[in-house]
């Protein structure tokens, strides 16, 4: 017996039905699975951050910051880690007995979707502006 797994991309329409992007392939897979128990896994697909957005952040924002007096002598990766620790942190509050602890993690820019990355860049640009560092708008 072969372990048969198939992933299909689809769009969930307003009536709740799925529109498969490659319906003939989906139909052929369903044909193979008729009269068998299956497991269905549905996950929302987040729009990944574009290469252009990453390029703007790493190639423009970080370089402008590095050229400023504020970050003079810092490496690009150090500046990025600072910004990520400030603006991409995830804080979870947990209890250990009666003590409340905070678990702080930093989200990787590689794991952010386009919306979150845009918010991150906006936060960084506001921070830089507040410190007298002007950054060009993305083209």
Q: What is the 3-state secondary structure (H, E, C) of the chain?
A: CCCCCCCCCEEECCCCCEEECCHHHHHHHHHHCCCCCCCCCCCCCCCECCHHHHHHHHHHHHHHHHCCCCCCCCCHHHHHHHHHHHHCEEEEEEEECCEEEEEEEECCHHHCEHHHHHHHHHHHHHHHHHCCCCCCCCC
From the centroid of its chain, how far is CA 33? Answer: 34
Residue 81: the pLDDT is 96
Supply 38's token pair: 């299956």
CA distance 132 to 127: 9
Residue 122: the pLDDT is 97
Q: pLDDT (tens digit, 9 = 90+) per residue, 94-123?
A: 999 999 999 999 988 988 889 999 999 999
Mean pLDDT (the chain) is: 90
Residue 73: the pLDDT is 96
Report the percentage of the chain scoring pLDDT > 70: 99
From the centroid of its chain, how far is CA 57? Answer: 14
Intervals of the chain under pLDDT 70: 1-2
φ, ψ at 76 (rounded to 5°) = -55, -45
Residue 11: the pLDDT is 84
């Amino acid at each position: 017996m072969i372990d048969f797994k198939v992933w299909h991309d689809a769009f969930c329409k307003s009536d709740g039905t799925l529109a498969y992007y490659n319906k003939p392939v989906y139909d052929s897979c369903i044909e193979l699975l008729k009269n068998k128990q299956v497991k269905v896994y549905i996950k929302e697909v987040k729009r990944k951050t574009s290469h252009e957005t990453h390029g703007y952040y790493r190639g423009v924002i970080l370089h402008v910051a590095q050229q400023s007096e504020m970050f003079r002598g810092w490496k690009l990766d150090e500046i990025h880690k600072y910004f990520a620790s400030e603006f991409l942190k995830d804080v979870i509050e947990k209890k250990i007995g009666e003590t409340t602890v905070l678990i702080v993690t930093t989200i990787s820019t590689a794991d952010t979707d386009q919306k979150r990355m845009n918010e991150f860049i906006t936060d960084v640009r506001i921070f830089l502006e507040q410190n007298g560092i002007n950054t060009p708008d993305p083209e």
